[in-house]
Each structure stands twice: as structure tokens, then as C-alpha cells.
Structure 1
Amino acid sequence: MRFMPICAITLLAASTCMTSTHTVAAESQLVANICDYVKANDKNRLRKKLKENRVKLRNIYAGVSCEGNSLLRMAMLSKSDKVGSFIAKRLSSKELSKAEADGQTLLAWAQANGHAGSATFTVIKEKTGS
């Protein structure tokens, strides 16, 4: 009599563990793909990957880090202006004005690191009204 409930609980626990592992792996693969497309300045593939996964940039931007940098910083470091401009246009001015992990805003960081001449910087500046 007790065999069936124990089997059901064991099966439920095992399926939960397998599902969460699969989800984490899928999320890390998505982040890796996004970072690769940002570095390669491949706006079309980035858009396609986001659409396939039904993800909006404004919902994941704060949680995605490429080599310790935000997506926009990585775009500026990689001279990926098409992708950087695309990302900046999808984010709110509040998100673009927010200080990042090191305490600097995107504009302050870009000026301090020699990226003030990039198209991505220009879009961020226009959106924030700075």
C-alpha cells in the first residue's frame, strides 16, 4: 500500500531535479549565444535568438553579463555599434542611466574608457537626454 505513494513522490522529485538542470543549461547557453552575437556585431542573429526564446532585452539586460561586462559595455569594447545601438534602443532611459556593478553609469564609463565616439554612446546619450 505504501509503495505507490513513495514511488510517486520519488518520480516527482526526480523529474523536478532533471527539469531545473535542463533549464539552467538552456539559460547559460542562451547567455553564451547572446554574448557571442554581441561580440560579433550580429544584430540579426541576436534578434532571432531573442525571438526564438521569447525573451525581451529589457527583461534580461540586468541579469546578463559577458566577461564581467554588461551587454552595452561589451558592445562598446567589441566595437559592435549595430548591436549596441539595437540594445540601447530597446532599453528604457532609466535603465541606461542606472549605475552598473562598479558604480559608474554607461556614459561615465564610456567617456573614461575612450568609447565616447561610438554610435552606441551616441544612442545612449540621446535616450538619456544627457
Structure 2
Amino acid sequence: MKAKLLILATVIAATAFISAPVKANDQLAISICSYVAADSKNNLRKTLTDNRLRLRNVYDGIVCDGLPLVRHAIKHNAADAANFIISQLPGSQVAASGDIEWANSNGFGSSPIIAAIQERSAS
């Protein structure tokens, strides 16, 4: 009987300390998205550096308002942030992203970011 009570007390104590995990990556992604939307290249760069991240390694995991970072930048006319992002990604990834087609079909075809994408895709 004492053994059962001890096990029950242990389980209750262990579950009392378990809560829904708060992911630091979620807050980091929110910060990155807000810096892109604000066209704050310097804050974006600093956040990546402070967290020892390479954009090419985390790019696919960050979605802002349902959009990849470059499309989020196009939507918010954040040319400086977009140019930084594009410069950090491999040219093959930029070329295969479909961002130009997305921009043209969503009314952003005249964005100056499209030229940067085209230039990076060619290299």
C-alpha cells in the first residue's frame, strides 16, 4: 500500500512540473517575421547572429503569416530585408522558390525585390 502511495505521489509531483513547452524558436520566428515586415535588416542580422543561426539553415522552417520570408518581405515592401535574405540563400534555392511567379500572380510583379531574385537566380 505504501509503495502504491509513493508511486502515486511521485507521478503527481512529476506531472506538476510538466507544462506545455514554450518553444524559444517560436518567439525567435516571431521576431524574425516582425523584423522582415518592418524592413529592419540590421535587427534581422543581429537576431540571427545573437542566436548563432545561418539563415540558409532555418529559412524553410520560418513561415510568416503563411508565407516564406521572401514572400513576406515582398508583401510588406521590405526591400532591404529581402535583399539580405536573398543574399544569404543559395542561388539554386532562390531560383526554385517560385517567388517570382507568386509575386506576379498576387499583384507584386513591379516590386524591386523581384529584380534581386532574378539576379540571384542567375548566379
What TM-score range do you get, normalising by the shorter chain?
0.7 to 0.9
User: For residues 55-93 of structure 1, what are the alpha-carbon distances to aligned partners after superposition, in whole Å with 9 as ceiling and x for unaligned?
Assistant: 011001111000100000000000100001110111111
2:84 to 59, 83, 86: 86
Amino acid at match of 2:72: M
User: CA shift at 1:115, angstroms?
Assistant: 2.0
Q: What TM-score, normalized by structure 1, do the two folds share?
A: 0.75
User: CA shift at 1:114, angstroms?
Assistant: 2.5
Q: Which runs of 5+ in 2 are unaligned?
A: 1-10
Amino acid at match of 1:127: R
Task: State whether residues 35 and 66 of structure 1, in contact with CA within 8 Å, keep that contact through their aligned partners in structure 2.
Answer: yes
Instruction: Summarize the alignment of residues 58-69 of structure 1 with structure 2, pairs less than 5 Å apart.
Output: 58-69=56-67
CA distance in 2, matches of 1:129, 1:47: 24
Task: Select the structure of larger CA radius of gyration.
Answer: 2
Asked if 1:126 is matched to 2:119, the reply is yes
4+ long deviations beyond 6 Å: none
User: For residues 36-65 of structure 1, what are the alpha-carbon distances to aligned partners after superposition, in whole Å with 9 as ceiling and x for unaligned?
Assistant: 000000011100000000001100111100
Identity among equivalent pairs (%): 35
Task: State whether residues 42 and 83 of structure 1, in contact with CA within 8 Å, keep that contact through their aligned partners in structure 2.
Answer: yes
Please provide the CA RMSD for this pair: 2.2
Asked if 1:21 is matched to 2:21, the reply is yes
Show the counterpart of 1:116: 109
CA distance in 1, matches of 2:88, 2:112: 15
1:37 to 30, 35, 38: 35
CA distance in 2, matches of 1:124, 1:49: 23
CA distance in 1, matches of 2:119, 2:107: 18
